[in-house]
Structure 1
């Protein structure tokens, strides 16, 4: 009886809610027919786009386009930003992620000019979700964090909590499961307090996922059931589909096959109803794996075909990797070794490409500079052709002048010849400048390729060798149970020195992989070094301060940035090793169009005239001289030491 009641309720819900949306749509169309002013018409088109999104995607795109066209025509920037936002949501729903990012960027530029901070935060959030779905986690956490800062500043608890939820999911994507679980438990507590059931459903699902990754099956099942109960009560189809999919996967891992198939099929039906291409691909691939295990290869192949097709359409790299992986296993079971090897190679290639996107991006930037120069050269050539044709036309016109005014003709020809020579000289000058620019770009291109090649060699060869040395030393220490204390101390010293060398190598690779180092990048690197120094140096209090008026987008060349970092590193190490300091402060200041990096300690100090300077201080001075910076060292006995690096601001 209760099943019949539930079926009746589902039928009634699916019948009533579309009817409700259609009534709203009809009322909005009546507003359009009443011929309102442009502002109201734009708002109505936007509302029609929103209500049509789950009924007819084509109609939704039509009304979104009408809102955009009228907004541009009437210079209604608020309407234009909203139209781009609505169209981006439609592309996101269809898993057309590159198109979604494109229109979100257009909306973002307008909302930034309008100082619409909440609108900007909303777009940052949406862009973060796109990058999360395409497994670009660095970009995902960047945009999610920017959105969270705005919502926290506005004291918007509901949206800030939702952003924390997204960031926790990114931690999960980076396999930091305990960190993700702690965040989701805190978020669930907030959602329960503010009685946000829709957000609470998502929290239960995320908590269950985190417990599953931590191999706590009992807690995972408990939270999946809580989530499904609340989602079914709220009739939240998106979350129901996700929970059914996840719970079905858990049942599959417990070998409860019939129940697993039941929940996965329920998820697939809902996702097809919602036209969720990403979700359909994910669930299809789960079912494919299950059918492979059961030996139902025909069902598995149809699931794989659908999952791979939709993941490629959605440009979802993580799902494509899963599809290639399962195809390889499918062909192993089918004893088709060639196809199995083919899909394993596709899997490996895609996996490698995900982690080399940054290198590809830098190469693409260099190529774009080169292409821009080529386009400029073509434009200059066309301009020269036009000028030449105009000159010829002027010559022909002058020949038609009457013989009776010969003196005027001669004067005119002389004037034209003078202009022609002047034009040619200008053209030759521009061609020379263009050739110089091309040579410079080609040189930069070669230098960048060489830097990337050297950094890869350092990382892959020297880094691996240093790691092997550490591993070998540790094997000697623990494998042979060495009792000679001097030998043990010596091995530990070599291991520690090697680890420090690896850290130095990573810093060098970091600088080599960048054309420029921003102040924000440099601050992050300094802060990380101070944190490590704080952990290893008991009894020393560190402080790191910067003036807020300095722009974080300020950039240094990679050579300048690395030398500044090395000087600061050496100054802090000297304070720790030789000064017996209890306080070390690092300050970044702006003073008279100059930037100062100041390292101060309260140690025992020294008299520069009475002490033989170490290689460290000499190296600091050489580094400062190399980047045209001033290095001032002030120290007094028992009054500490201050090291200042001063550079002019490049405006």
Structure 2
């Protein structure tokens, strides 16, 4: 048989009662868990078990709530985790442990905001509002209730709107706006009837009865209490019935029907013990204590009084603590123990001042009228005036402090803005100076480049043209005149060759001048051109140039560096041809120990480094190497060739 699990996401403090017996539902849920379902189904089952165990075993309810939370975290089920915190918060609320309940609700609210679960968010706003309502923080209570109401109205959920309006009406009652509370409850009753919400109608009749009671219409109040009790008994609403018995007992108390009032309050206390309703147990115990005080049965009154007092202090329920202190003062007044009367009156006054901003309530005034002298009444009035004056002074000081803090913040913000503005100006000035400097450098560079280009054009157009004219003139002399003098012929030929070499060197110089940077690839091309020309002059020579892979794209030299490297290689090759009479020349460029090494080797006749007198060629190479901060080494031995190694 296929079972469908419903995840009970309860949007209000109390879920809608089901007609099924809770024990049967619990057994059904346990069978689902035993069937080893998926994690998501198991989480829902744990959550439902937490809810149904609320009225049976609070320990079991906590156990399944914690299992829901644990499994949700392990499986990263954020929806299940939010529901677990919500359920555990409800359990703490039932125990009147409001601080812990509020903590759990807020954790659930964070998760539901992330999940964008608007209905879950509305339910939590309502629950948080109820906690503030029960702890007399009525401004916070109406704030959260209103937030929940807006969501439900936006979703057009009539039933939930009615429940939230009920809570808001109860807050009006707490603010002593009794007629406004009554009107709202009467409106809600009509909505409950239209949607056949018997549970909601039961609660609304109870609230209407309470409103009439505050308006001192005992007849109408009793009528609505009895209507509500009939509905609760008919539908077995135990929790609501417990509250109704308690409230109706209060009416009977006011009507001085003490025996019947005790009977109804005893019924309420029994149900509230079954439900583990700590707030209700405390409230009803104090009602019974009051009844027995009126009956002058002080022994029974004392037991109920201390039960109510201890529970109200244990669970920090301010409203009920005030009631307990009030009744304890009355109890000891009847017992004629003035020290205890004063002790509990002071406790009552202190708590009342905290809750109501130092205003003395009507109940204390009545007790004081019974048991205090006129002199004590004057003292209280004086104390009240002093407290009001102190509050006024405190408010003035607070206003001054706030004003000083605001002024300090404004000064700080103003100072910070001025500091940032000055800092921005300084930064802008720095950037402007950097830009001016960069523009000046660019302008200088452009001027130098123009000058270099002008010089290179002059060299090419003037000097080059003149050298070419010299060569042409020598050739015309050789061919135009029949020169028979061999020495003269040789001299003219030598001058022509020297002039051609000068033109080549001039072109190399112009090539270097026209470049800002010279790459290794540029050098390779220039060296290859030079070697090709050398090959043309001697067919017996064998040249070989080799460069390590990867160096061509990596290395870049300035024009000065590139030209000097080229001239050193050129001089080395010329020396090998002219003086070394070499047949093979190798040019090798490689990377060694983070240095680029240019090696020029030949198989010529070599020379003795120690014996030879250094000429212009070797000295020029050394000077060029020094100019570019490079190292140059000459290795040569007679009959074994020469190697020149340049490292940069």
C-alpha separation between the residues in 1 aligned to 2:285 and 2:156? 41
TM-score by length of 2: 0.54
Which of 447, 460, 464 in structure 1 is aligned with 2:388? 460
CA shift digits 1:493-543 (9 cap, x unpaired): xxxxxxxxxxxx99x869829959xxxxxxxxxxxxxxxxxxxxxxxxxxx
User: Counterpart of 1:182?
Assistant: 183
Distance 1:332 1:81, change over 3 A: same
Q: How many angstroms does 1:24 deviate by?
A: 2.4
Distance 1:514 1:130, change over 3 A: farther
Answer yes or no: is 1:211 the counterpart of 2:212: yes
User: Counterpart of 1:258?
Assistant: 259
Gaps of 5+ in 1: 1-16, 358-455, 465-504, 517-555, 564-624, 629-651
Q: How many angstroms does 1:181 deviate by?
A: 0.8
Distance 1:346 1:195, change over 3 A: same
Is the Cα contact below 8 Å between 2:145 and 2:164 reproduced in 1? yes
Is the Cα contact below 8 Å between 1:96 and 1:313 reproduced in 2? no
**Equivalent position SS for 1:54:** coil
C-alpha separation between the residues in 1 aligned to 2:132 and 2:48? 27
Distance 1:245 1:458, change over 3 A: closer
Q: Which moved more, 1:25-34 or 1:136-145?
A: 25-34
Alignment of 1:279-318 (within 5 A): 279-318=280-319
Q: How many angstroms does 1:356 deviate by?
A: 5.4
C-alpha separation between the residues in 2 aligned to 1:462 and 1:275? 44
User: Counterpart of 1:234?
Assistant: 235
C-alpha separation between the residues in 2 aligned to 1:83 and 1:513? 46
C-alpha separation between the residues in 2 aligned to 1:459 and 1:307? 31
Q: How many angstroms does 1:30 deviate by?
A: 2.4
Alignment of 1:408-419 (within 5 A): none
- Equivalent pairs counted in the alignment come to 370
User: Counterpart of 1:269?
Assistant: 270
TM-score by length of 1: 0.53
User: Counterpart of 1:512?
Assistant: 399
Alignment of 1:81-120 (within 5 A): 81-120=82-121
**Equivalent position SS for 2:93:** helix
Answer yes or no: is 1:168 the counterpart of 2:96: no
Is the Cα contact below 8 Å between 1:231 and 1:240 reproduced in 2? yes
C-alpha separation between the residues in 1 aligned to 2:320 and 2:235? 29
**Equivalent position SS for 1:135:** coil
C-alpha separation between the residues in 1 aligned to 2:168 and 2:118? 20
Q: How many angstroms does 1:76 deviate by?
A: 0.9
Alignment of 1:340-489 (within 5 A): 340-355=341-356, 460-461=388-389
C-alpha separation between the residues in 1 aligned to 2:321 and 2:385? 30
C-alpha separation between the residues in 2 aligned to 1:68 and 1:356? 41
CA shift digits 1:93-144 (9 cap, x unpaired): 1111111111011000000111111000000111111121122212211111
Is the Cα contact below 8 Å between 1:172 and 1:180 reproduced in 2? yes
Alignment of 1:142-161 (within 5 A): 142-161=143-162
CA shift digits 1:178-221 (9 cap, x unpaired): 11111111111111111111111111111111111111111111
User: Counterpart of 1:643?
Assistant: none
CA shift digits 1:280-299 (9 cap, x unpaired): 11111111111111110001
Distance 1:510 1:122, change over 3 A: farther
C-alpha separation between the residues in 1 aligned to 2:19 and 2:60? 15
Gaps of 5+ in 2: 1-17, 359-383, 418-648
Is the Cα contact below 8 Å between 1:144 and 1:166 reproduced in 2? yes
Distance 1:105 1:510, change over 3 A: farther
Distance 1:32 1:214, change over 3 A: same
C-alpha separation between the residues in 2 aligned to 1:223 and 1:45? 39
Distance 1:193 1:510, change over 3 A: farther
Distance 1:249 1:112, change over 3 A: same
C-alpha separation between the residues in 2 aligned to 1:514 and 1:230? 57
Is the Cα contact below 8 Å between 1:28 and 1:44 reproduced in 2? yes
C-alpha separation between the residues in 2 aligned to 1:27 and 1:253? 47
Q: How many angstroms does 1:19 deviate by?
A: 9.0
Q: How many angstroms does 1:558 deviate by?
A: 5.8
C-alpha separation between the residues in 2 aligned to 1:276 and 1:248? 18
C-alpha separation between the residues in 2 aligned to 1:510 and 1:132? 30
User: Counterpart of 2:434?
Assistant: none
Distance 1:282 1:458, change over 3 A: closer
C-alpha separation between the residues in 1 aligned to 2:69 and 2:166? 32
C-alpha separation between the residues in 2 aligned to 1:135 and 1:513? 29
Is the Cα contact below 8 Å between 1:511 and 1:559 reproduced in 2? no
Q: How many angstroms does 1:276 deviate by?
A: 0.9
Q: How many angstroms does 1:327 deviate by?
A: 0.4
Q: How many angstroms does 1:23 deviate by?
A: 2.8
User: Counterpart of 1:75?
Assistant: 76
Is the Cα contact below 8 Å between 2:56 and 2:275 reproduced in 1? no
Structure number with greater Rg is 2
C-alpha separation between the residues in 2 aligned to 1:202 and 1:320? 25
Q: How many angstroms does 1:25 deviate by?
A: 2.1
Distance 1:342 1:18, change over 3 A: farther
C-alpha separation between the residues in 2 aligned to 1:181 and 1:34? 51
C-alpha separation between the residues in 1 aligned to 2:62 and 2:312? 23
User: Counterpart of 2:59?
Assistant: 58
Distance 1:461 1:312, change over 3 A: closer
**Equivalent position SS for 1:315:** coil
C-alpha separation between the residues in 1 aligned to 2:350 and 2:136? 15
Q: How many angstroms does 1:225 deviate by?
A: 1.2
Distance 1:514 1:354, change over 3 A: farther
CA shift digits 1:445-485 (9 cap, x unpaired): xxxxxxxxxxx999933998xxxxxxxxxxxxxxxxxxxxx
C-alpha separation between the residues in 2 aligned to 1:356 and 1:215? 26
Q: How many angstroms does 1:37 deviate by?
A: 2.2
CA shift digits 1:8-52 (9 cap, x unpaired): xxxxxxxxx999323322232222222222222211211221222
Is the Cα contact below 8 Å between 1:458 and 1:509 reproduced in 2? no
C-alpha separation between the residues in 2 aligned to 1:515 and 1:47? 50
C-alpha separation between the residues in 2 aligned to 1:20 and 1:245? 25
Alignment of 1:242-253 (within 5 A): 242-253=243-254
Q: How many angstroms does 1:269 deviate by?
A: 1.4
Distance 1:334 1:171, change over 3 A: same
